[in-house]
Amino acid sequence: MTKVTEKKEDVIILFAGDSGDGMQLTGSLFTNTSALYGNDISTFPDFPAEIRAPLGTVAGVSGFKLHFASVDIFTPGDDVEVLVAMNAAALKANLHQLKIGGTIIANTAGFDKKNLRLAKYDNEQSPLLDKSLDKFRVIELDVSKMTREALVDSGLGTKEVDRCKNMYVLGFLFWMYNRTLENTETFIKEKFAKKPDIRDANIKVLKSGYFFGDTNETFTTRFEVESAHLPKGEYRSIMGNQATAIGLIVAAKKANLDLFYGSYPITPASDILHELARHKNYGVKTFQAEDEIAAVCASIGASYGGAIGVTASSGPGIALKGEAIGLAVMLEIPLVIINVQRGGPSTGLPTKTEQSDLMQAINGRNGEAPLVVIAPHSPSDCFHTIIEATRISIEHMVPVMYLSDGFIANGSEPWKFPAAEDIKEIKPNFADAEKSLEDGAFYPYARDERLVREWATPGMKDLQHRVGGLEKDFKSGNVSYDPANHERMVKVRQEKVDRIADFIPEQKIEQGEDQGDILVIGWGSTYGASRTAVRELINEGHKVSQAHIKYLNPFPKNLFDVMKNFDKVLIPEINNGQLINLINAKYDLRAIPFNKIKGLPFTSREIKEKLLELLS
Amino acid sequence: MTKTNDIQVNLTAKDLATDQDVRWCPGCGDYSILKQLQSTLAEANISKEDTVFVSGIGCSSRFPYYMDTYGIHSIHGRATALASGLKASRPDLSVWIITGDGDSLSIGGNHLIHLLRRNFDVNILMFNNEIYGLTKGQYSPTSPKGQTTKSSPMGSLDHPFNPAALVLGASATFVARSMDRDPKHMREILKAADSHKGTSFIEIYQNCNVFNDGAFEVFTDKGTKADNVILLEEGQPLIFGADSDKGIRFEGMKPVIVSLSDVSKDDLWIHDSKDETKAYFLSKMFDEPGSEGAMPRPFGVFYQEDRFRYEEAMNEQIDRAISLKGKGDLDKLIRGSSTWKV
């Protein structure tokens, strides 16, 4: 029987199953193969908060969303085209994301009475048997049974056999999307090099899934997503936390400083610690501290000693670090603070994304304690943005807060990576006795025209001095309770941060004209959804543009000039309205808020619909 | 960029003083500690620029301002945490932590125990005055139960910490006790702490003459000292008393006070600072002076042990990683393990 191949521009597959079903791995393997086919890619995992939530329940469903395309894409996408549901709970948790007419690949073994009961389907009624899925195309595969049959002679136990079942689904999907198995086979061979029976079993099941699609007469159509017209060059796939980690190593080397990373484990920031700990051969010092406060204080100690101290956490941990960050403001030494934001307040939604710590970053300390705040907008952008954060911190002797979030941190995309030599050097403002002494005395708080003081580290002869959290004399740095001096110092610390605006790029328009009906302006991880929505509207002839703010404090000098040429300014945020407060307070402008606070990123459609409503 | 400078020669205590006015209350025990430390470090011919004093918050934590070395007066309870990062990144420095009973045992208790188990090669001087001085007289975690203070008008309900027992429990590798009123003893202990490789913890009984005057008088006053203090000397029997006529020996697992007229010196407990069990018993000699059967309070080096230092182990791991994988190459790092071309 002839099988036809249909071309598609982009496809979104959501792999969903129990957290033990291997869905993250299955998704990653499909991603890697798609990358080799030259597709543009964006992925996003969706984990349950519990490591092993009860089997078969909706709470225990782990998902991996993959968007791959022959055009350039910026988000993991809105409408799922294929939902892989390893059990009833996986279907129940994710059906709302599947577009009308989309395909469900259901593992029928996961829809037995027990699974239906655990997933809380009324009367244990299977959705595969009633008419509730009529709007979709359902492919029923008894994955468990077919995996067992494929491995009947393997000599493996039931448990080991069942662990291979994700490979069956993967094999079937490779057939469906016209991919070869080669890349995945190589992966399996490397991963299980020391366990030949497991290796052979996985490959056999992978092939069985593929052949099932190929030979079964029910499936007549395959799909093809051609390679995207990405700029020429060499690519790798990168996740946000990984990009942040390697960016830190690069930044430290570019500054010729040791990297000291003090951190306490917290979701979703811990992967940065894991990644850095793997790279000790780059001289990285990772320090898993006893708590969040120790982590930041140890990093301040390292910076005082002349290393670049970096600490990372998520919102609750940043709250604990607040006092010490204030100390770093007072000491005027380099310190990079990473906040991989999650849903708050309090413990909030640990595994879900949110942008709700912007106000905390700007204001979350006692006293007048300005910080530089900077935010990456995509997984690969983390690399450049953390280098920029480190550069500002070192060159301006100021703590910098870097605001990533769960969506960027765990998302991945192809990255046309740079060569190390193309990344600019970072120049620490070190003191030395020859140039820094004034009539034989050292004034640690003397400043240059940028208001930056010199960095005198222990070991430098004749520059011994004392610093601390008490107010400093403007020049000598000695403790001072003088009223006029305090006012002067508060203003100097503020002015020093404000002047950094002279050393950052001007705000640019990301796409669209520099004037028009609406400007969509956001920060952080809303970038991709805004980008897609605005692109579609521009193509449809609307006067809509997009700008995206990386530098949140200080703002680029021309920010108002960019915004004022539009009739309306829309600010989408995954919070209850934080950037908009800063902008409306600072500029003569009434920007329009657009907020989503569900622990989930915006879809591009949501932004597009909001824009259409404002345009009408 | 680390510069190691030549050791300065012929330092005097004065060379270590700064131009800042010392602002402790007149008569405060802190003056004596400052003086002893300046003399000890001058005698040791330290290099001023390779020495860092780190403190938290409290009266004692003003200390760094008075030492002409590098110094940070940090935040409450965190000197130990800050010093950990400093020592990890700069093992070449001589790091001294100045803290008090509130700073190290209350708000900073967590960091103290973790620093001790990691055994960074730093020195901790814990000024114990059994009171909160800077905040004007509330009970501290070492105040005796029942102490009347501004925040405990009917007497404190808190059972006090026994600092020596606490730090031994946290695997400290050098534990000692001294007192502000015995300069000679303090200099000896400071010297021993300086030469110990690993974390040195010294508890210094320090009189707060404003809010808790006389808290340690029984251990420092000429009339009562001899019967209430036992000075530990390495390899020597535990003897005390005005006429050196009392000693301590073990009866089974229990240390007891004996009269030297009944018991030979050879049968007494011989001080061995390498013996962890004996150190434990010394730390438990923590009776209220004058109470029924009270043991004398030990002063001196309770315990010392040579154990690996965190900062050295950290550097060893880096060296091992380099020998296994080669020195990191940035382009390799950026490329990762799998790439494709478009």
**HSE-up (13 A, CA, CB side) for residue A451:** 19
Test the B interface: residue of A466, A467, A476, A480 with most B CBs within 10 Å: A466
pLDDT, tens digit, 9 for 90 and up, residues A158-188 = 999 999 999 999 999 999 999 999 999 999 9
Interface of B with A in 153-172 (CB under 8 A): none
User: Any idea which of A36-50, A55-69, A318-332, A477-491 has the lowest mean pLDDT?
Assistant: A36-50
Residue of higher predicted confidence among A513 and B4: A513
CATH code: domain A509-615 is 3.40.50.920
C-beta atoms of B321 and A235 within 8 A: no
Mean pLDDT of B101-128: 98
Query: In the prediction, which pLDDT does B9 show?
Result: 67
C-beta atoms of A298 and B52 within 8 A: no
Domain that holds residue B54: 13-215
Query: In the prediction, which pLDDT does A5 show?
Result: 86
Mean pLDDT of A336-356: 96
C-beta atoms of B82 and A304 within 8 A: yes
C-beta atoms of A418 and B2 within 8 A: no
Query: In the prediction, which pLDDT does B5 show?
Result: 54
Query: In the prediction, which pLDDT does A410 show?
Result: 92
Provide the shortest C-alpha distance from residue A63 to chain B (in Å).
24
Interface of B with A in 251-290 (CB under 8 A): none
Provide the shortest C-alpha distance from residue B118 to chain A (in Å).
11
C-beta atoms of A305 and B93 within 8 A: yes
pLDDT, tens digit, 9 for 90 and up, residues B89-109 = 999 999 999 999 999 999 999
Nearest neighbour of B75 by CB, restricted to A233, A260, A469: A469
Whether A216 shows a pLDDT value over 90: the answer reads no
Helix A23-36 and helix A182-191: axis angle, to 10°? 130
pLDDT, tens digit, 9 for 90 and up, residues A575-604 = 999 999 999 999 999 999 999 999 999 999
Query: In the prediction, which pLDDT does B225 show?
Result: 96
Whether A119 shows a pLDDT value over 70: the answer reads yes
Whether A400 shows a pLDDT value over 60: the answer reads yes
In a domain, B121, yes or no: yes
Whether B4 shows a pLDDT value over 60: the answer reads no
Helix A182-191 and helix A196-215: axis angle, to 10°? 160
In a domain, B293, yes or no: no
How far apart CA A96 and CA A317 sit, in angstroms, is 34
Tokens of B30: 């802190």
Provide the shortest C-alpha distance from residue A289 to chain B (in Å).
9
Provide the shortest C-alpha distance from residue B19 to chain A (in Å).
10
Whether A320 shows a pLDDT value over 90: the answer reads yes
Whether A215 shows a pLDDT value over 90: the answer reads no
Q: How many domains does chain B have?
A: 1
Interface of A with B in 282-311 (CB under 8 A): 282-285, 287, 289-291, 293-294, 297-302, 304-307, 309
Interface of B with A in 19-48 (CB under 8 A): 20, 48
Largest CA distance in chain B: 95
Whether A515 shows a pLDDT value over 80: the answer reads yes
Test the B interface: residue of A281, A332, A421 with most B CBs within 10 Å: A281
Q: Which residues of B touch A31 (CB under 8 A)?
A: none
pLDDT, tens digit, 9 for 90 and up, residues A518-558 = 999 999 999 999 999 999 999 999 999 999 999 999 999 99
Whether B3 shows a pLDDT value over 90: the answer reads no
Test the A interface: residue of B51, B52, B82 with most A CBs within 10 Å: B82
* CATH architecture under which domain A238-418 falls: 3-Layer(aba) Sandwich (3.40)
In a domain, B336, yes or no: no
Nearest neighbour of B88 by CB, restricted to A260, A283, A465: A260
A vs B: CB pairs below 8 A: 218
For chain A, which residues make up each domain, given as ranges? 4-225, 238-418, 433-502, 509-615
Whether A259 contacts chain B with CB within 8 A? no
Q: Using a pLDDT cut of 90, give the percent of chain A over it.
A: 90
Whether A210 contacts chain B with CB within 8 A? no
Which residue from A67, A82, A69 is spatially nearest to A7, judged by alpha carbons? A69
* Res. B260 pLDDT band, cuts 50 70 90: very high
Whether A53 shows a pLDDT value over 90: the answer reads no
How far apart CA B331 and CA B336 sit, in angstroms, is 9
Nearest neighbour of A305 by CB, restricted to B86, B114, B335: B86
Tokens of A151: 């491995």
Question: What is the Cα B221 distance to its own chain's centre?
Answer: 23
In a domain, B4, yes or no: no
Query: In the prediction, which pLDDT does A2 show?
Result: 65
Whether A129 contacts chain B with CB within 8 A? no
Do domains A238-418 and A509-615 share one topology? The answer is yes
Beta bridge partners of A453: A447
How far apart CA A80 and CA A12 sit, in angstroms, is 5
Query: In the prediction, which pLDDT does A86 show?
Result: 95
Q: Using a pLDDT cut of 90, give the percent of chain B over it.
A: 94
Tokens of B190: 């400071």
Mean pLDDT of A479-494: 98
Query: In the prediction, which pLDDT does A260 show?
Result: 98
Q: How far is CA A456 from CA A252, A306, A466, in A?
A: 18, 8, 11
Chain B residue whose CA is closest to A230: B342
Tokens of A559: 């920010």
pLDDT, tens digit, 9 for 90 and up, residues B282-325 = 999 999 998 999 999 999 999 999 999 999 999 999 999 999 99
Test the A interface: residue of B48, B50, B70, B329 with most A CBs within 10 Å: B70
Nearest neighbour of A287 by CB, restricted to B70, B78, B88: B88
| B11 Rama class: left (phi>0) / alpha (psi -120 to 50) / beta | beta
Q: Which residues of A touch B69 (CB under 8 A)?
A: 464
In a domain, B322, yes or no: no
Q: Which residue has the tokens 């009776």?
A: B287
Query: In the prediction, which pLDDT does B6 show?
Result: 56
Whether A48 shows a pLDDT value over 80: the answer reads no
Mean pLDDT for chain B? 95
Which residue from A130, A10, A18, A142 is spatially nearest to A82, judged by alpha carbons? A10
In a domain, B128, yes or no: yes
| C-beta separation of B290 from B280 below 8 A | no
Mean pLDDT of B243-270: 95
CATH class for the domain made up of A4-225: alpha beta
* Res. B338 pLDDT band, cuts 50 70 90: confident
Strand B70-73 to strand A466-468: parallel, antiparallel, or no bridges (unpaired)? parallel
C-beta atoms of B73 and A253 within 8 A: no
Query: In the prediction, which pLDDT does B1 show?
Result: 39
Burial A172-208 (b: 16+ CB within 10 A, else e): bbbbbbebebebbeebbeeebeeeeebbbbbbbbbbb
Tokens of B73: 């007066």
Residue A100, Cβ neighbours under 10 Å: how many?
7
| C-beta separation of A343 from A267 below 8 A | no
| C-beta separation of A389 from A309 below 8 A | no
CA A55, A58, A61, A67: dihedral to nearest 10 degrees?
Answer: 160
Whether A127 shows a pLDDT value over 80: the answer reads yes
Whether B265 shows a pLDDT value over 70: the answer reads yes
Q: How far is CA A83 from CA A37, A259, A289, B15, in A?
A: 22, 43, 41, 75
Query: In the prediction, which pLDDT does A99 show?
Result: 94
Mean pLDDT of B210-219: 96
Q: Which residues of A touch B107 (CB under 8 A)?
A: none
Alpha helices per DSSP H over A305-351: 315-331
Q: What order do you get walking across the sheet with A509-511 strand by strand?
A: A509-511, A544-549, A516-523, A566-573, A592-595
pTM metric for this prediction: 0.93
Burial B77-92 (b: 16+ CB within 10 A, else e): bbbbbbbbbbbbbbbe
What does A390-444 look like in DSSP terms, one character per residue? HHHHHHHT-EEEEEEEHHHHH-EEEEEPPPGGGSPP----B--HHHHEETTEE-T
Whether B337 shows a pLDDT value over 90: the answer reads no
Q: Which residues of B touch A458 (CB under 8 A)?
A: 49-52, 70, 86, 90, 93
Nearest neighbour of A469 by CB, restricted to B53, B74, B111: B74
Whether B326 contacts chain A with CB within 8 A? yes
Sequence length of chain A is: 616
In a domain, B220, yes or no: no
Interface of B with A in 106-135 (CB under 8 A): 110-111, 114
User: Any idea which of A222-236, A461-475, B197-211 has the lowest mean pLDDT?
Assistant: A222-236
Query: In the prediction, which pLDDT does B2 show?
Result: 42
How far apart CA A188 and CA A202 sit, in angstroms, is 7
Mean pLDDT for chain A? 95
Q: What is the CATH number of the domain that holds B122?
A: 3.40.50.970
Query: In the prediction, which pLDDT does B7 show?
Result: 55
Q: Using a pLDDT cut of 70, give the percent of chain A over it.
A: 99
